């Protein structure tokens, strides 16, 4: 079986057989899968099967064009031709060498200068790479920026000016914060962040260096970095909780998931204070654990430290998979931990009230549950 030709081998054939007039722009796969070639002489880009190119098929744009069209002209005649062709919209400001060497041309409308291959410029009847003038429906920086944003659901952002589909632009991947260069052509065909694709995956040490530059002294990284989108464990010293979040989201401003859901817990605490109940927060009870202790949000105790009543406020992440809270893995862990806590309370005979995130009247529910409990078990721990 013959050895499969590599990309580098075919690229060398293109240069040799095409006598330097052709440039390979896309990845070679096999002899029958089309590749993108550029005819340097006229600037035309087109797709062709490698086998057909090797058999002699060349630029369709240049078929039938007489050689006299590419006869070297002097600088003065080229300037005249550009001015006539564009009705004075473009002016040659650089020195013309030959039909295939870039020369600087100024677009008089936007006042910007760019290097163009003379034959390509003339064949397209004049065009501005900055504003798109002279070529129908040509992309502008604004239109490509909109394409980048809408095609990726706002996950990517254009940071530099769009010039042509083959000249690299700078893109930021908002998820991980990484900035990189890519041609608009490749981005439009699906090329995405090389760091998240594993092409340039950072190490744990590199992530820790980024983490330390944030100077977030309230947080500690507890587990090993995998990649920008795989959640790892952090500890928030302020509230004492440990939580899972992807490194990319943390570097882009994501923080303690416990404190994010604390609005509901603050409501519960406010009600307990109003009721005059003696309570504790983040209650750890002997034997209630998975790998680590599983604290209850609130606990009401007697004078001897015996737990009488337990309360859990369950945010939406306890009922649905949420990327911010660790995706499916984080959700399954929470379901397991919630089950352990519920079974523990049941086995110990301790009433456990769970308040859902979408409970319309949490105050009424909590007040009713605690009043009923103390009504049946004495009311020395309730003020109202």
Q: Please, which residues bridge with residue 181 across strands?
A: 170
Q: Which domain holds residue 83?
A: 74-123
Does residue 132 belong to any structural domain of this protein?
no
User: Can you give the pLDDT at residue 294?
Assistant: 92
Average pLDDT, the chain: 80
Does residue 383 belong to any structural domain of this protein?
no
- Sign for the CA dihedral angle at 128, 129, 135, 138 comes to negative
Residue where a domain terminates, one of 253, 281, 310: 253
Q: Say yes or no: 276 and 340 in one domain.
A: yes
Window from 89-93, 225-229, 254-258, 260-264 with minimum mean pLDDT: 260-264
Q: Say yes or no: 215 and 182 in one domain.
A: no
Predicted TM-score of the model (pTM):
0.35
Q: Say yes or no: 355 and 277 in one domain.
A: yes
Does residue 199 belong to any structural domain of this protein?
no
Does residue 231 belong to any structural domain of this protein?
yes
Does residue 197 belong to any structural domain of this protein?
no
Q: Say yes or no: 307 and 365 in one domain.
A: yes
Query: pLDDT tens digit string along 367-384?
Result: 888 888 777 765 444 433
Q: What is the CATH number of the domain that holds 265?
A: 3.40.960
Q: Say yes or no: 277 and 354 in one domain.
A: yes
Burial of 301 (0-12, 13-18, 19+ CB in 10 A): middle
Q: How far apart are CA 36 and CA 25, in angstroms?
A: 5
Does residue 195 belong to any structural domain of this protein?
no
User: Can you give the pLDDT at residue 378?
Assistant: 57
Does residue 288 belong to any structural domain of this protein?
yes
Mean pLDDT of 207-222: 86
User: Can you give the pLDDT at residue 261?
Assistant: 56
Residue 141 CB neighbour total at 10 angstroms: 16
Query: pLDDT tens digit string along 177-191?
Result: 888 888 888 888 778
Q: Say yes or no: 271 and 363 in one domain.
A: yes
Does residue 131 belong to any structural domain of this protein?
no
Q: Say yes or no: 267 and 354 in one domain.
A: yes
Number of domains observed in the structure of the chain: 5
């Amino acid at each position: 079986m013959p050895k499969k030709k590599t990309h580098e081998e075919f690229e060398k054939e293109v240069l040799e057989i095409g006598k330097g007039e052709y440039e390979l722009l896309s990845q070679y796969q096999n002899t029958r899968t089309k590749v993108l070639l550029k005819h340097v002489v006229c600037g035309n880009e087109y797709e062709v099967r490698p086998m057909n190119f090797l058999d002699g098929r060349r630029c369709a744009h240049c078929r039938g064009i007489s050689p006299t069209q590419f006869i070297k002209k002097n600088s003065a005649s080229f300037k005249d031709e550009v001015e006539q062709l564009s009705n004075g919209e473009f002016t040659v400001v650089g020195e013309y060498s030959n039909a295939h060497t870039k020369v600087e041309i100024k677009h008089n409308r936007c006042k910007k200068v760019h290097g163009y291959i003379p034959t390509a410029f003339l064949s397209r009847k004049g065009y501005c790479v900055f504003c798109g003038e002279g070529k129908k429906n040509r992309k502008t920086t604004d239109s490509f920026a909109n394409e980048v944003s809408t095609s990726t659901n706002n996950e990517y952002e254009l940071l530099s000016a769009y010039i042509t589909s083959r000249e690299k632009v700078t893109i930021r991947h908002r998820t991980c914060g990484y900035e990189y260069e890519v041609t608009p052509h490749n981005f439009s065909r699906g090329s995405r962040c090389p760091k998240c694709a594993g092409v340039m995956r950072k190490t744990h040490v590199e992530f820790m260096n980024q983490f330390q530059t944030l100077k977030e002294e309230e947080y500690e990284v507890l587990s090993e970095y995998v990649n920008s989108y795989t959640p790892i464990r952090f500890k928030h010293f302020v509230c004492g909780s440990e939580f899972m979040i992807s490194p990319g989201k943390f570097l882009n401003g994501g923080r303690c998931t416990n404190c994010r859901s604390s609005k509901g817990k603050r409501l519960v605490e406010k009600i307990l204070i109003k009721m005059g109940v003696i309570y504790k927060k983040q209650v750890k009870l002997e034997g209630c654990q998975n790998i680590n202790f599983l604290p209850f949000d609130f606990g009401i105790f007697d004078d001897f430290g015996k737990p009488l009543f337990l309360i859990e406020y369950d945010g939406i992440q306890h009922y649905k998979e949420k990327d911010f809270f660790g995706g499916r893995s984080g959700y399954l862990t929470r379901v397991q931990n919630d089950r352990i806590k519920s079974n523990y309370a049941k086995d110990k005979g301790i009433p456990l009230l769970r308040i859902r995130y979408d409970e319309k009247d949490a105050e009424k529910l909590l007040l009713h549950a605690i009043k009923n409990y103390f009504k049946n078990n004495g009311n020395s721990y309730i003020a109202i």
